[in-house]
Amino acid sequence: MTKVSVIGAGNVGAEVARRIVEKNLADVVLVDVVEGVPQGKALDMLQSAPIEGFSNSIEGTNDYSNIQDSDIVVVTAGLARKPGMTREDLVIKNGQIITEVSKNIKKYAPKSFVVMVTNPLDVMTQLCWKTTGFDNNRVIGMAGILDTARFICFLSEETKVPAKKIEAVVLGGHGDAMVPLVDYTFIDGKPVKEAISADRLASIVQRTRDGGAEIVKLLKTGSAYYAPSASAVEMVDCILNDRKKVLPCSVYLKGQYGLLDVFIGVPVKIGAGGAEEIIELKLTEEEKHELHRSARVVKDTLLLCEK
């Protein structure tokens, strides 16, 4: 039986769990430190099974030993950003949480793949990889899929071309540090530079960078979770069904893009072997520079966690 554990039963975690069972992808175990919450949410979801027609089980727990033998562990535990708070403000607190979660993954699900969601994303992915000692292909961070989806949404809104006919790739760190690749962005087959003025494109790029903050500001409490959970479940689906789709994810680089010993968002083939192959795209000098700047931020932030 395929089993996916989701750590953190908050907004993103619960939505990830719901999408997984509703798509009949796997049995789900939902874990949280707060007593009753994962159990209550799991029971509520289970009671939707007769209506939605899924047959997989879902169970909520406060006990990490229940993640035993998971094929994939999706990590969403941590604090969400509050208005005005940067991702980096979260680093110390979330670093402690992710260290504890990673030790439990290593102990109870030593053969699993990890899909990291907690912010600051690239840093938490690297911290989890270090703490578990898992191979590079088995720890993958979710950010680029979401940033790319947001970029495509805004481009679609601007051009009135359906999202399905827009191609785009966003690399680099999550959010403020993302690097959209303009030369790989096509609107209905046409280079984006020919479809949109430089000014409009710059403002869409900026809106994408601030995509998370825009939602935090509107919600007032909590942050985005519908598109983030869809993005994480896309990765789960690719691993469980060996899709071999090329998706922008945060993975360990050992020389690719001129970067060493750092997790950062790049295109990677996701299949049954996890992060199977990193694809090296040709970047402009400016994009290369931005990607390297992004990687430096990850390395510097990681030091905060390790103090």
| Residues tagged active-site | 174
> CA 255, CA 178: separation in Å to the nearest integer?
19
Please state the closest distance from residue 191 (CB atom) to ligand TXD, in A. 27
- CA dist 5 to 18, 24, 27, 256, Å? 12, 14, 8, 31
Using the rule CB under 6 A, is 29 a contact of ligand TXD?
Answer: no
Using the rule CB under 6 A, is 278 a contact of ligand TXD?
Answer: no
Please state the closest distance from residue 262 (CB atom) to ligand TXD, in A. 17
**Going by C-beta distance under 8 Å and a sequence separation of 6 or more, which residues neighbour residue 147?**
170, 174, 175, 178, 180, 208, 211, 248, 265
Question: Which residue, 166 or 232, has its beta carbon nearer to ligand TXD?
Answer: 232
Using the rule CB under 6 A, is 78 a contact of ligand TXD?
Answer: yes
Q: Using CB atoms, what's the residue nearest to ligand TXD?
A: 10
Q: Is 48 helix (H, G, I), strand (E, B) or coil?
A: coil
**Going by C-beta distance under 8 Å and a sequence separation of 6 or more, which residues neighbour residue 235?**
115, 140, 142, 145, 247, 249, 270
Using the rule CB under 6 A, is 99 a contact of ligand TXD?
Answer: no
Tokens of 86: 């940067």
Question: Which residue, 140 or 142, has its beta carbon nearer to ligand TXD?
Answer: 142
Using the rule CB under 6 A, is 73 a contact of ligand TXD?
Answer: no
Tokens of 199: 């000014």
Question: Which residue, 5 or 137, has its beta carbon nearer to ligand TXD?
Answer: 5
Using the rule CB under 6 A, is 176 a contact of ligand TXD?
Answer: no
Please state the closest distance from residue 118 (CB atom) to ligand TXD, in A. 4
Interface with ligand TXD: number of residues (CB under 6 A):
33
> CA 183, CA 170: separation in Å to the nearest integer?
11
Residue type, 148: T
Q: Where does this chain bind ligand TXD (CB under 6 A)?
A: 7-13, 31-34, 76-78, 80-81, 94, 97, 100-101, 117-119, 121, 142-143, 146, 174, 222-225, 228
